[in-house]
């Protein structure tokens, strides 16, 4: 669905120059070594990992949830981890340095690569890389010019959830949260992030073909304005925006929300049994996360060992199951009994997902005659939509 573009490297190049010149002012540090390693040496003793909550669990939060201890015993690399709440917070933390490994979503990876904060990864050194689904490898959010910048971890779609008692007939289209949202005024919910504008764009791709949107992350002025207008209209029916899933689960269980975007794990956690999820006919946005290595990693060997370990079927299965997303390999499904619910390995299903990508001025769909609206503008527009 998404092809790596040659322009990526150009963009990365331009950005590195900017970063390097900034370093002189003392407001940034430039990466010195982004060459991939050629071999894995001895363990350095510790590895510092930055990840989404639930990605690096060592049993300290719940003794039964632990896949870090096995790694520590096997490699003698002690894991120190920090979690972050949004991709943007992660970017800020990576800038401040001190991490060897980061788990990054597609709306973060390109920024990390462009700012020289992560280095290329030599996947030949990783035993478990081969087993990973091909449709996750060498994508435009985890590679540049065919050079891999990390190992895919897990992926999922931003699905449509609805209350079966209220929303009837069962929806098959996103129009229940857009053009027909007023039917459920006050009980519609949406993901609270500028990246949600892409969900509106996915809808417009089908319903307003004249706009000519071919990629929801590459919107020119007119396309962007149409998406924003759609969301402003939607806002009148929205009860609340959600970003943490505790809030979302509670809202659907209590009936405060009856229809809106969700994740599969939220559906799995809802105990009242009156909700369903569907991947609507227009397709959906989603995420595919990547384990990356910091360009200034102090423990590159342990970092490689972690990347290999977390891609191994059992560890990958445990971690992705705990977080609630599809694993990255077929073999991992041997260790999970819910792969079907997540459509793991279903290439046809995966092809309907538009994975989060950072919107930048240079259109990611390859258009050269127009400028696309960048993420800073998306953020501004999102605030205006919320009013």
Subset of residues 155 to 194 that bind other proteins, contact rule: CB under 8 A: 192-194
Write each residue from 84 to 113 as x if it is in contact with other proteins (CB under 8 A), else as -, in one continuous string: -xx-xx-xxx-xxxxx----------xx--
Among positions 32-51, residues that touch other proteins (CB under 8 A) are 48, 50
Cα-based angle 229, 365, 161 (whole degrees, multiple of 5) = 50
Segment interacting with other proteins (CB under 8 A) among 157-165, 173-181, 224-232, 249-257? 249-257
CA distance 293 to 310: 13
Whichever of 68 and 205 has its CB closer to other proteins, that residue is 68
Residues that bind other proteins (rule: CB under 8 A) add up to a total of 79
Whichever of 265 and 310 has its CB closer to other proteins, that residue is 265
Whichever of 81 and 299 has its CB closer to other proteins, that residue is 81
Whichever of 78 and 208 has its CB closer to other proteins, that residue is 78
Q: Does 273 bind other proteins (CB under 8 A)?
A: no
Q: Does 386 bind other proteins (CB under 8 A)?
A: yes
Question: How far is C-alpha 74 from the chain's CA centre?
Answer: 29
**Shortest distance in whole angstroms from residue 337 CB to other proteins:** 16
Q: Does 10 bind other proteins (CB under 8 A)?
A: no
Full DSSP string of 29-60: ------PPPSS-----SEEEEEE-TTSS-BSS
Segment interacting with other proteins (CB under 8 A) among 220-228, 239-247, 277-285, 306-314? 239-247
CA distance 144 to 148: 7
Cα–Cα distances in Å, from 268 out to 149, 241, 255, 258, 339? 32, 20, 17, 16, 12
Q: Does 13 bind other proteins (CB under 8 A)?
A: no
Write each residue from 198 to 237 as x if it is in contact with other proteins (CB under 8 A), else as -, in one continuous string: -------------------------------------x--
Segment interacting with other proteins (CB under 8 A) among 121-129, 169-177, 219-227, 247-255? 247-255
Q: Does 118 bind other proteins (CB under 8 A)?
A: no
Contact 3, 135 (CB under 8 A): no
Full DSSP string of 188-253: EEEE-SGGGHHHHHHHHHHH-GGG--S-TT---HHHHHHHHHHHHHHHTTEEEEE-SHHHHHHHHH
Q: Which ranges of 105-188 does DSSP label H, i.e. alpha helix?
A: 106-114
Tell me which of 358, 363, 364, 372 binds other proteins, using CB under 8 A. Answer: 358
CA distance 8 to 29: 22
Whichever of 184 and 323 has its CB closer to other proteins, that residue is 323
CA distance 253 to 250: 5
Cα-based angle 377, 381, 387 (whole degrees, multiple of 5) = 150
Q: Does 133 bind other proteins (CB under 8 A)?
A: no
């Amino acid at each position: 669905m998404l092809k790596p573009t040659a322009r990526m490297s150009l963009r990365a190049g331009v950005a590195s120059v900017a970063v390097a010149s900034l370093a002189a002012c003392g407001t940034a540090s430039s990466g010195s070594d982004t060459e991939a390693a050629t071999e894995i040496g001895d363990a350095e003793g510790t590895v510092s990992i930055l990840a989404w909550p639930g990605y690096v669990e060592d049993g300290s939060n719940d003794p039964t949830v632990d896949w870090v201890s096995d790694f520590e015993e096997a490699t003698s690399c002690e894991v120190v981890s920090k979690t972050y709440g949004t991709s943007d917070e992660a970017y800020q933390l990576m800038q401040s340095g001190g991490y060897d490994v980061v788990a990054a979503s597609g709306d973060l990876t390109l920024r990390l690569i462009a700012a020289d904060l992560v280095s290329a990864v030599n996947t030949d050194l990783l035993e478990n890389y081969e087993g990973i689904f091909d449709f996750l490898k060498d994508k435009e959010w985890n590679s540049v010019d065919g050079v891999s910048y990390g190992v895919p971890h897990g992926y999922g779609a931003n699905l449509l959830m609805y209350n079966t008692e209220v929303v009837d007939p069962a929806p098959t289209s996103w129009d229940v949260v857009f053009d027909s949202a007023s039917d459920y005024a006050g009980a519609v919910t949406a993901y609270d992030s500028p990246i949600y504008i892409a969900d509106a764009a996915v809808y417009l791709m089908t319903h307003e073909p004249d706009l000519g949107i071919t990629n929801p992350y590459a919107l020119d002025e007119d396309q962007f304005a149409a998406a924003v207008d759609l969301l402003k209209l939607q806002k009148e029916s929205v009860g609340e925006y959600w970003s943490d899933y505790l809030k979302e689960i509670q809202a659907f269980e209590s009936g405060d929300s009856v229809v809106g975007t969700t994740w599969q794990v939220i559906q799995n956690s809802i105990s009242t049994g009156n909700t369903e999820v569907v991947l609507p006919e227009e397709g959906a946005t989603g995420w595919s996360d990547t384990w990356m290595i910091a360009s200034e990693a102090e423990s590159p060997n342990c970092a490689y060992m972690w990347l290999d370990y977390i891609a191994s079927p059992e560890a990958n299965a445990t971690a992705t199951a705990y977080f609630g997303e599809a694993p990255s390999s077929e073999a991992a499904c041997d260790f999970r009994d819910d792969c079907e619910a997540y459509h793991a390995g279903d290439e046809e299903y995966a092809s309907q997902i538009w994975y989060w990508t950072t919107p930048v001025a240079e259109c990611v769909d390859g258009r050269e005659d127009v400028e696309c609206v960048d993420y800073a503008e998306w953020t501004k527009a999102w605030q205006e939509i919320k009013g």
